[in-house]
Chain A
Amino acid sequence: SAVISQKPSRDICQRGTSLTIQCQVDSQVTMMFWYRQQPGQSLTLIATANQGSEATYESGFVIDKFPISRPNLTFSTLTVSNMSPEDSSIYLCSVVSGGGGAFFGQGTRLTVV
């Protein structure tokens, strides 16, 4: 298993601003993933963070809105840009272990006012 730390755990932000969420893993991993969970909903994959190349975004998500960095094999950031109240969600990073199981950070609960 992997231990994943996310920061911040929660934040309240003004509309129009940006927030960067950090994800640190205690071991080197090839793939890191970012998910969004809107209030009362299930989790939806935003993108795959690739080390050494650009992130791969899922349908409905774009780099200008959710830029991602992956500077090394243990760290990634997700930025939520030009926020609106509709961006209020829990954002979670995830890694996959050697056995194929996915592990998640504790999540960042974002409220945009």
Chain B
Amino acid sequence: GIQVEQSPPDLILQEGANSTLRCNFSDSVNNLQWFHQNPWGQLINLFYIPSGTKQNGRLSATTVATERYSLLYISSSQTTDSGVYFCAAENSGTYKYIFGTGTRLKVLA
């Protein structure tokens, strides 16, 4: 099955800084998503982005499907951005998502 890797595993930022999170996947994908897991464990959808570029406020994402990676950009980070960011991919047509290992982000005030 598809393998999903994320980097970096941990990231500490000062409030206001920008960051880029990376997701590599081992095969072509039908579906790819980015999630933010808040400290209470809830998974929040950020982007559904099997290809192309999307933006939502301070966050944007780009997936280059031919090169098998996706990037999540966080600009002007805030303390509320803290948590774990997961990418998840699916390529079997079954909608069974494989999750990456996550990037744990801490934004300091």
A positions within 8 Å CB-CB of B? 1, 31, 33, 37, 42-45, 48, 58, 90, 92, 94, 96, 99-104, 106-107, 109
Contact = CB atoms under 8 A, between A and B. Distances in A.
A42 B45 contact: no
22 contacts: A1-B45, A31-B95, A33-B96, A42-B86, A43-B43, A43-B88, A44-B99, A45-B96, A45-B97, A48-B94, A96-B95, A100-B30, A100-B48, A100-B95, A101-B31, A101-B45, A102-B33, A102-B45, A102-B88, A103-B45, A104-B43, A106-B40
Main secondary structure of the interface of B (DSSP, over half): loop
Contacts of A90: 41
Contacts of A107: 41-43
Main secondary structure of the interface of A (DSSP, over half): strand
Contacts of B96: 33, 45, 48, 58
A96 B90 CA distance: 12
Contact of B41 (A31, A42, A99, A106): A106
B95 A109 contact: no
B61 to A, nearest CB: 13
A53 to B, nearest CB: 15
Contact of B100 (A42, A101, A102, A109): A42
- Chain B interface residue bracket vs A: 20 to 34
A107 B43 CA distance: 8
A42 B95 CA distance: 17
Q: What are the 8 A-B residue pairs with the smallest beta carbon separation, nearest first?
A: A101-B48, A104-B43, A96-B95, A43-B99, A42-B99, A107-B41, A100-B31, A106-B42
Nearest to A37: B41
Nearest to B4: A42
Given A33-B97, A43-B43, A43-B86, 4 more contacts: A33-B96, A44-B99, A104-B35, A104-B42
A31 B31 CA distance: 15
Interface in B18-49: 30-31, 33, 35, 40-43, 45, 48
